[in-house]
Amino acid sequence: MSALIVTGTDTGVGKTVFAAGLTAALGASYWKPVQSGLQDATDSETVKDLSGARVLPETYRLNMPASPHLSAEDEGIEIKLDRLALPQVAGPLVVEGAGGVMVPLTREHFFLDLFARWQAPVLLVARTALGTINHTALSLMALRAAGCTVSGVVFVGDAVPDVEQTIAEMCKVRHLGRLPHIDVLSRATLSDAFEGVDVDTIRKLL
């Protein structure tokens, strides 16, 4: 098994849609270890609908749409990192975090601590909108300081070449393409939009 971690610079950055497209492009399985918020379609359900791939069940399913540590406390549940070891599957595995790099899992641990435990390549999903240089640079600094291997950044949104190039150059990180906004989201439209993502380079990380 070869795992790839997909995380983002913030909540709502587009990493679930990217993870769905990547899962389909790689013929991978998908795992979201912790899901907060069950009222609407979960990330696992979205990925299954958009990729048709094998989706592993979440280890923790929490009702409150909030940071996992708050959602777990609301239900009297203790999230234990030892229960969140990477599952063994045949072929590649795409693993999606929750929100950004520094989202708390517990009062003592961030998602970053889990990424550092796993020691799998990390793909960072970032917006192209205003503010992304700061958010992306801080996320990359945190990942690297924790000993994670950052394999590249994928952008989501309208093309802003100067911003994308600034991040790639100043942060010394590989630019792995850009996923545009998709007006009508489906397997077909996501597959078409994924032409702007450097899947060949990502596949070599496996």
Just list the catalytic residues. Answer: 32
Q: Specify whether the CB–CB gap between 47 and 53 falls below 8 A.
A: yes
Neighbours of 100 (CB within 10 A): 22
Q: In whole angstroms, what is the distance from residue 24 CA to residue 47 CA? A: 9
Q: In whole angstroms, what is the distance from residue 106 CA to residue 68 CA? A: 7
Contacts for 187 with CB less than 8 Å, ≥ 6 apart: 24, 49, 50, 51, 52
